Amino acid sequence: MHVLILGGTTEGRRLAETLDADGVRVTSSLAGRVASPKPLPGEVRVGGFGGADGLARWVREHQVDAVIDATHPFAGTISFNAARAAATSHVPLLALRRPGWTPVEGDDWHPVASLEEAARTVGRLGRRVFLTTGRMGLAAFADVSGAWFLVRSVDPPEPPHPARMEVLLDRGPFTLDGEREVLRTYGIDVLVTKDSGGAATAPKLAAAREAGVPVVIVRRPPVPEGVPVAATVGEAAAWAAARAG
């Protein structure tokens, strides 16, 4: 049994660990966006496949029996490529998606459909923006006038990006105390986040709630139609075990 995990997430890593410990042959695929990713068990390949056809070819050439798309909920292209590649190569596909966040009492959330809409929204909510949407989508905020940005990312961002910004290089998990400190130290009055879900980056939401800071939250793209979804690593591992039969 050879399982290809499309990774780049905490869940992808934990799934690789679980399957590897169960004696399953695992290959984790990373896009190569992070300069020094944490080590993973099993085999690892890095870089794009060359679209859905390239992925289908890779699956055939490496005798992959099942694909688990454990990419980030906002990595929409690779998920659609995986759906197409699985259909053409007749290999079962599962999407592993941690549930999104839901607001609780005291939250002041402003849901938007895209980073572009987030950029249009921040200006009317605040002037000192904590931007936690990653370094890849900064171009959307490059033309927001009158605002200063604190950009948190794993690796340094490249232009285009907002003219007035400071970069905080860091990688989750983050703590509530740490997030309170960030909001206080930088005088943040609006937070921007994707609805990534999961515990590792959730403390910023609690810190924003406590401080009365509004949150612009970018909604997730849909999972490709017809692809079954697992919410936890355990469910995904059970799915793989059932395929191994």
Site for ligand NAP, residues 55 to 114, rule: CB under 6 A: 55, 71-72, 74-78, 81
**∠ Cα 197 95 238 (to 5°):** 100
Check residue 193 for interaction with ligand NAP (CB under 6 A): no
Give 77 or 114: the residue with its C-beta nearer to ligand NAP: 77
Applying CB under 6 A, does 42 fall inside the site for ligand NAP?
A: no
Per CB under 6 A, 197 contacts ligand NAP: no
Q: Which residue has the tokens 């206080």?
A: 184
Residue 172 interacts with ligand NAP (CB under 6 A): yes or no: no
Kindly report the length of the chain. 245
Torsions phi, psi for 235 (to 5 deg): -65, -40
Tell me the CB-side half-sphere exposure of residue 4, using CA atoms within 13 A: 26
Residue by residue, DSSP assigns 149-189 as EEEEESS---SS--SSEEEEE--S---HHHHHHHHHHTT--
Distance, in Å, from the CA atom of 129 to the CA atom of 213, rounded to the nearest integer, reads 10
Q: Which is nearer to ligand NAP, 126 or 134 (CB)?
A: 134
Q: Of residues 3, 4, 8, 130, which one binds ligand NAP by CB under 6 A?
A: 8
Residue 37's Cβ-count burial label (10 Å; 0-12, 13-18, 19+) is middle
Q: Which segment (6-14, 101-109, 116-124, 231-239) binds ligand NAP by CB under 6 A? A: 6-14
Applying CB under 6 A, among 10, 29, 121, 153 the residue interacting with ligand NAP is 29
Task: Give the nearest distance from C-beta 133 to ligand NAP in angstroms.
Answer: 7
x-marked contacts with ligand NAP along 216-245 as a string, rule CB under 6 A: ------------------------------
- Binds ligand NAP by CB under 6 A, chosen from 37, 41, 42, 51: 51
Query: Could you tell me if 216 and 110 are in contact, meaning their C-beta atoms sit under 8 angstroms apart?
Result: yes
Q: Would you tell me which residues interact with ligand NAP (CB under 6 A)? A: 6-9, 29-31, 33, 48-51, 54-55, 71-72, 74-78, 81, 134, 136, 194
